[in-house]
Amino acid sequence: MLSMFARREDGKEVREEGKLIASLASRAETAGQNRANVGLTGTFTATAKSSTTTDAAASAQTAQGQAATAQAETASNMVRLMGEDAKRRAKLLATAPSIGQYLCHLSHDMRNFTRAETTNAVIGATPAELQRVVRLAAKLRGRYLAQVVDLGNPKRGPITEADIRDLGRAREMYEEIDRGLMALRHAIESGDLDVDGTNSH
């Protein structure tokens, strides 16, 4: 009986030792897997960091290359535009008229513009209208001269400021009408103003 009990106890101890060994082996295997996973994670992280650094350097080099290309294109465009501007100026200088030719063209344009504007503004100038302007100028001139002579009349008293103002106003009216009459005559002679009932030739 004691021998059988002893064998049972020995078998129980053996089984417990086996379980303990199996548990230790499982823990050791789990620890090994964890260390392996940590090693793989570190390797992956290092690889990712290295790849990111490489991509950033490549992007920086690409940006620098693009900037250099843009600067070169800008400089080339500026040189081309300067060359075109120089050619255009040279062409203008080669075909530019002299001062005499320019003044001749300017006088021609002034005559054409004056004739066109006069024709649009003055609608039919008749000889009767022109005669009335001539008569008005003569009347104002006569009035002005009469006032000048009247200043020397012995029956008049001293000349006052009012007399001078009246004389100046009469002179201005006469001179203004006389200038207008001269302008009409010049316009008729140059052909800028047509007079109804007359032949321009």
Cβ atoms 125, 195 nearer than 8 A:
yes
Q: Are residues 126 and 61 in the same domain?
A: no
Q: What is the pTM of this model?
A: 0.46
Instruction: Out of 17, 39, 68, pick the residue that ends a domain.
Output: 68
Contacts from 2-9 at CB under 8 Å and sequence distance 24+? Answer: none
Same domain, 124 and 185: yes
- The answer as to whether 62 is a domain residue is yes
Per the structure, how many domains does the chain have?
A: 2
The answer as to whether 93 is a domain residue is no
Full domain range(s) for residue 18: 1-68
Within a domain: residue 3?
A: yes
Asked if the structure places residue 20 within a domain, the reply is: yes
User: Is 86 part of a structural domain of the chain?
Assistant: no
Examine residue 33 and state whether it is found in any structural domain, yes or no: yes
Answer whether residue 44 is part of any domain.
yes
Q: What is the rounded CA–CA span in Å between residue 88 and residue 31?
A: 85
Tokens found for residue 7: 């064998």
> Do 117 and 186 have their domain in common?
yes
Q: What are phi and psi of 191, to 5 degrees?
A: 90, 5
Q: How far apart are CA 90 and CA 196, in angstroms?
A: 52
Supply the pLDDT for residue 194.
Answer: 85
pLDDT of amino acid 114: 86
Give the helix ranges, DSSP H, for the chain. 2-95, 99-121, 127-150, 161-190
Local confidence pLDDT in tens for the 201 residues of the chain: 434 434 444 455 546 655 666 666 566 566 555 554 444 444 444 444 455 666 666 777 777 778 778 787 887 888 888 888 887 877 776 777 788 888 888 888 888 888 888 888 888 789 999 999 999 999 999 999 999 999 888 888 888 899 899 999 999 999 999 999 999 998 888 888 888 877 766
Q: Is residue 198 part of a domain?
A: no
Could you say which of 22, 48, 68 is where a domain stops?
A: 68
* 166 and 173 Cβ atoms separated by less than 8 Å: no
176 and 118 assigned to the same domain: yes
